[in-house]
A = this chain, B = another copy of it.
């Protein structure tokens, strides 16, 4: 079927390729006209037959909001907009309401898979109403991995981004569990060959996973991870997951700790630890660093 796809970066570009390989007709649009199939959103709309399906894959926040607003100007009643970016789940219901006024339908889709999705397929979590989910099934089928997994209609508007948000919260926790174990192995005088131990877990063990495969891959490339700084950004979903845990009164020690560790990784010096150092100096005359 036909799909308009806005945003042809790392994720969107790969998705276009995977969809075309599956036989779909994709009209892509990107600010970078070199990779774009249409010179403008209206040209994109003109290249698609109604009812159109247009998927946005641009940075969350203002850019997504603006893109969808502009898109709504060039689409018609009966068309469907799908936001596959990392929008906050609370944006979806109001957005769906705004679009509904114009008769435009809306789906929110959480997309996981990173740069590997082009080959492995993307896990898709969808929020919205059943008829539109049904209508877009061929696109979802092409994007998701072969087999029975990798797709869920999670609930109404917001459910797709919500499921993706929790997915990313879990991802933070998983990565940090491996990371702590890795650091212990490296610190210990008992272990001669840390990468070999990581590798041994890739099959047969309880901790085998795709992330572990990737850690092994990284260690193959750089056995001491010397080329990297211990620094990690966060892209919003981890924060929102902790906020949701707080809102819903769910104890989320692991996910919160993983998020806080990223915050710490970005601090040159810690105001909190300055306060601790100040206190130790005050009561105990303990030596401090200046």
Query: With A and B bound together, what is the CA distance between A172 and B207 in angstroms?
Result: 9
Q: Which residues of B contact A117 (CB under 8 A)?
A: 204
Check if B200 sits within 8 Å of A123, measured CB to CB: yes
**Contact flag A246-B269 (CB < 8 Å), given A254-B176, A276-B176:** no
Query: With A and B bound together, what is the CA distance between A114 and B246 in angstroms?
Result: 25
Check if A230 sits within 8 Å of B190, measured CB to CB: no
Check if A180 sits within 8 Å of B211, measured CB to CB: no
State the number of copies, please. 4
A63 at the interface (CB under 8 A from B): no
Check if B206 sits within 8 Å of A171, measured CB to CB: yes
Secondary structure dominating the interface of A:
helix
A184 at the interface (CB under 8 A from B): yes
Query: With A and B bound together, what is the CA distance between A290 and B277 in angstroms?
Result: 29
Q: Which residues of B contact A233 (CB under 8 A)?
A: 280, 286-287
Q: Which residues of B contact A186 (CB under 8 A)?
A: 271
Query: With A and B bound together, what is the CA distance between A210 and B213 in angstroms?
Result: 12
Check if A200 sits within 8 Å of B150, measured CB to CB: yes
Which listed segment binds B: A35-43, A98-106, A160-168?
A160-168
**Contact flag A288-B249 (CB < 8 Å), given A177-B173, A210-B208, A225-B275:** no
Check if A242 sits within 8 Å of B244, measured CB to CB: no
Check if B114 sits within 8 Å of A284, measured CB to CB: yes
A264 at the interface (CB under 8 A from B): yes
Query: With A and B bound together, what is the CA distance between A212 and B275 in angstroms?
Result: 11
Min CB distance A41 to B, Å, is 27
**Contact flag A152-B261 (CB < 8 Å), given A274-B230, A289-B228:** no
Query: With A and B bound together, what is the CA distance between A157 and B212 in angstroms?
Result: 26
Q: Which residues of B contact A147 (CB under 8 A)?
A: 203
Check if A178 sits within 8 Å of B231, measured CB to CB: no
A77 at the interface (CB under 8 A from B): no
Query: With A and B bound together, what is the CA distance between A81 and B145 in angstroms?
Result: 46
Q: Which of B115, B177, B271 sits near A230, CB closer than 8 Å? A: B271
Q: Which residues of B contact A122 (CB under 8 A)?
A: 204
Query: With A and B bound together, what is the CA distance between A231 and B290 in angstroms?
Result: 9
Check if A170 sits within 8 Å of B166, measured CB to CB: no
Q: Provide 29 A-B residue pairs closer than 8 Å at the C-beta atoms, listed in order of the A residue.
A: A89-B190, A153-B193, A154-B190, A154-B191, A155-B191, A171-B207, A173-B173, A173-B176, A176-B276, A177-B254, A177-B255, A178-B279, A180-B252, A180-B254, A183-B250, A183-B270, A184-B241, A184-B244, A184-B245, A206-B210, A219-B278, A222-B278, A228-B290, A230-B276, A231-B288, A233-B287, A251-B272, A254-B258, A262-B273
